[in-house]
Amino acid sequence: MDGLPPDFTTIARTRQRTLAAAIGCVGVGLHSGKRVKLELLPAAAGAGIVFRRTDIGPNGMDIPARFDNVTDTRLCTMLSHPHAPDVRVGTVEHVMAALAACGIDNAVVAVDGAEVPVLDGSSAPFIFLLDCAGTVEQDAPTRVIEILRPVRVSDGEAFVELRPVVSDGFEMAVSIDFAAGAIGRQAMTLRLTEESFRRDLAEARTFAMAADIAGLQAAGLALGGSLNNAVVVEGDRVLNPGGLRMADEFVRHKMLDAVGDLAMAGAPLKARLVAHRPGHALNNKVLRALFADRSAWTWADAPSFAGWGAVPMAAAAAPV
């Protein structure tokens, strides 16, 4: 793909990165249905990814994008301020996936409401914003978290497991199984790089079953959902006039979600993700299980790492 930034598989990244300039957009929240202004801002080395509620207080309130600040996983991933649990930001996974895949270690995601705008339901619009802003290297080294032994969480037939990997980087093997004929069983294996994320995952949209929408809206969810920002399935049919962007868009979006959710480890993972029917809850639980066992992981130097972007180790101090 012409014009893409260098692939991390060919150029090892050893320094942290942030945005070269601020950039923003306006959209609606998938669940709230409210207009939201989002701005992506540069941040200092070691700051990590932080979500800022600009509508609260004179200077806003910051919520570190960390697994232990995740407080709700119903249909999205929601972060809450560790000392003010009513201060929340939901639907963070798509922008987190874009930041991680593009190697952005330090940034502020400023929003004037309780939810990140859904835009088209994928990570592609956030990739576009990051490309427009550009990136700069910072005078601070990156590190990665290497998985030393398998860590697995499950819920019935569904499971998410992080395994050690021989090669550098992050590998994914994900499968899903839905009763709806339009989805059915899908599976995909991928070695995650910036290029593979852009090519294979970034444009995959969130999806919902038509029969569930009324119930979700009655519960105050999916109020901003439409055929413009989600794939809607009814039995064997996809209701979107334009159809799917790719035949297996559903499993690709599940992988996109996993990239965003696992980016909240506090640093990139040198690991192989193996998952069947994953979701936000299991993605978060596997990180909690990982960091509950100090023998299951170790810090590794970045020069040999060839995978996704990092959140610096300062943001990962809690699990140590």
Active site residues: 280
Tokens 């190697």 locate to 103
Residue 271 and residue 259 in contact, taking contact as beta carbons nearer than 8 Å: no
8 contacts: CB under 8 Å, gap ≥ 6: 103, 169, 193, 194, 305, 306, 307, 308
Q: Are 182 and 238 a contacting pair, CB within 8 Å?
A: yes
3-state helix, strand, coil in the chain (%, to 5): 25, 35, 40
| Contact by Cβ (8 Å): 145, 31 | no
> Which of 69, 144, 130 lies closest to 101, judged by CA?
130
- Taking alpha carbons only, the member of 184, 176, 180, 182 closest to residue 157 is 176
Q: Are strands 185-192 and 170-177 parallel, antiparallel or unpaired?
A: antiparallel
Place of tokens 């079953």: 209
